[in-house]
């Protein structure tokens, strides 16, 4: 059986002071339904990815929140959580639920309301994605964890500061055309290297922002998808795990979970890295995008920067990556994995603001924490 994306919707990413978590979720869900030509009563299941609403806004039970406020009770509603990979995780569980034969049309959303807590509170809450007993407790933060990876990578492979900056420079350029982006301005290599130091070697413009936002997708069985215009098929789904704490890894310059999730998705879809026309990768910090190129097989170990130098991952390159600007221009953690698949869907439908000409096969890569969870999905237009 095949399963397809038949509708998508998302809110603007940013600071939403006048909208609560439920408002954002419902806005995205309603857009997704409309884009699929469906109403709420057509849907028989709901999944939602959310990392930490319990701490961000004092609300757990996110499935019930979403399904209730959207007027979709009594359908089953399920919250999935794997830190910043919660969206990709919810997508995979929704996909498997259709394959199980128990569901036919499922809404899968992601949401996060992060700004209510302020910057300090958010950074502490986000450390819930790491190892509470061995990392948070000694004062590590996520910029700190990725800075350790960046430093190790720079030492081993000779990556330079200004080469690392090519990631945010590219993604900010892509983000300018994205109407949903939190940031829509260009940054230069010089801007990055002059931005405030957060955790050496990572600077402010290496880091994805604190963001409110929601995104939603409608998934359906093949017979239902055939009735809609331009369904986008799920060709491969991979999910893998790794140690929660960074210090337990053999190698700081790769994410084993990303490699294994990619292998699963490539194997199921019968695709190879060179078949991918467009990709969304998890650029929570600049270094993460370079490592992702290598984990996903787009570049050999230590050679990821060449894709940036040669502009292979820019618009017009051989594999444009983060064509919506990536996490760099908005990272509402629970929604991110869904937002990535929405951008791939738009690309494969030929309706992306930064359209990759003739894109037929796309990949979305979503990471939780410092790599303890990874999800990779491959989608195709036919």
Please tell me whether residue 336 binds a copy of itself under the rule CB under 8 A.
no
Using the rule CB under 8 A, give the single segment among 5-13, 51-59, 165-173, 344-352 that binds a copy of itself.
Answer: 51-59
Nearest alpha carbon to residue 34 among 167, 237, 218, 230: 218
Q: How many CB atoms lie within 10 A of CB 161?
A: 14
CB of 287 closer than 8 Å to CB of 192: no
Q: Which of 16, 103, 174, 331 is catalytic?
A: 331
Using the rule CB under 8 A, give the single segment among 85-93, 166-174, 189-197, 316-324 that binds a copy of itself.
Answer: 85-93
Rg (alpha carbons) of the chain, rounded to whole number = 19
CB of 165 closer than 8 Å to CB of 305: no
Which residue lies nearer to a copy of itself by CB, 127 or 352? 127
Please tell me whether residue 108 binds a copy of itself under the rule CB under 8 A.
no
Given candidates 27, 206, 212, 242, which one binds a copy of itself under the rule CB under 8 A?
242
Nearest alpha carbon to residue 128 among 136, 116, 138: 136
Given candidates 81, 277, 283, 343, which one binds a copy of itself under the rule CB under 8 A?
81
Given candidates 144, 256, 320, 325, which one binds a copy of itself under the rule CB under 8 A?
256
- Asked about 84 being catalytic, the answer comes back as yes
Given candidates 17, 74, 139, 272, which one binds a copy of itself under the rule CB under 8 A?
74
Which residue lies nearer to a copy of itself by CB, 37 or 71? 71
- Asked about 331 being catalytic, the answer comes back as yes
Please tell me whether residue 354 binds a copy of itself under the rule CB under 8 A.
no
Cα gap 130→127, rounded to integer Å: 5
Q: In a 3-state reduction of DSSP, which class is residue 363?
A: strand
CB of 150 closer than 8 Å to CB of 370: no
Please tell me whether residue 337 binds a copy of itself under the rule CB under 8 A.
no
Omega of the bond leading into 238 within 30 degrees of 0 (cis): no
* CA quadruple 273, 274, 279, 285: dihedral sign: positive
- List contacts with a copy of itself (CB under 8 A): 20, 22, 46, 51-55, 57-65, 67-69, 72-83, 89, 92-93, 96-97, 99-102, 125, 127-133, 136, 237, 239-245, 248, 256-257, 260, 368-369, 372-373
Active-site positions read 84, 331
């Amino acid at each position: 059986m095949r399963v397809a994306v038949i509708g998508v919707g998302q809110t603007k990413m940013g600071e939403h002071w006048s909208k609560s978590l439920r408002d954002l979720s419902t806005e995205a869900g309603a857009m997704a339904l409309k884009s699929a030509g469906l109403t709420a009563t057509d849907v028989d299941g709901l999944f939602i990815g959310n990392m930490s609403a319990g701490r961000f806004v004092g609300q757990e039970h996110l499935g019930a929140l979403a399904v209730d406020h959207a007027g979709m009770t009594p359908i089953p509603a399920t919250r999935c959580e794997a830190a910043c990979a919660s969206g990709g995780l919810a997508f995979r569980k929704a996909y498997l639920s259709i394959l199980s034969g128990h569901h036919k049309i499922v809404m899968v959303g992601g949401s996060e309301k992060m700004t209510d807590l302020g910057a300090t509170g958010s950074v502490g809450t986000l450390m819930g994605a790491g190892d509470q007993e061995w990392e948070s407790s000694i004062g590590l933060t996520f910029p700190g964890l990725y800075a350790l990876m960046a430093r190790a990578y720079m030492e081993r492979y000779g990556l330079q500061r200004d080469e690392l900056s090519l990631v945010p420079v590219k993604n900010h350029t892509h983000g300018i055309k994205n109407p949903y982006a939190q940031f829509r301005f260009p940054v230069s290599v010089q801007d990055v290297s002059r931005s405030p130091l957060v955790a050496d070697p990572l600077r402010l413009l290496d880091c994805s922002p604190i963001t409110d936002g929601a995104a939603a997708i409608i998934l359906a069985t093949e017979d239902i998808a055939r009735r809609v215009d331009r369904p986008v098929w799920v060709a491969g789904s991979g999910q893998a795990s790794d140690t929660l704490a960074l210090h337990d890894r053999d190698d700081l310059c790769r994410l084993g979970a990303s490699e294994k999730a990619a292998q699963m998705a490539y194997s199921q879809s019968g695709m190879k890295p060179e078949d991918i026309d467009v990709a969304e990768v998890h650029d929570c910090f600049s270094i993460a995008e370079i490592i992702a190129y290598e984990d996903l097989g787009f570049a050999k170990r230590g050679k990821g920067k060449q894709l940036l130098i040669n502009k292979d991952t820019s618009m017009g390159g051989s594999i444009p990556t983060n064509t919506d600007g990536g996490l760099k221009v908005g990272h509402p953690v629970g929604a991110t994995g869904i937002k990535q698949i929405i951008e791939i869907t738009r690309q494969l439908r030929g309706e992306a603001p930064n359209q990759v000409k003739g894109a037929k096969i796309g990949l979305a890569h979503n990471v939780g924490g410092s790599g303890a969870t990874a999800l990779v999905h491959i989608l195709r237009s036919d």
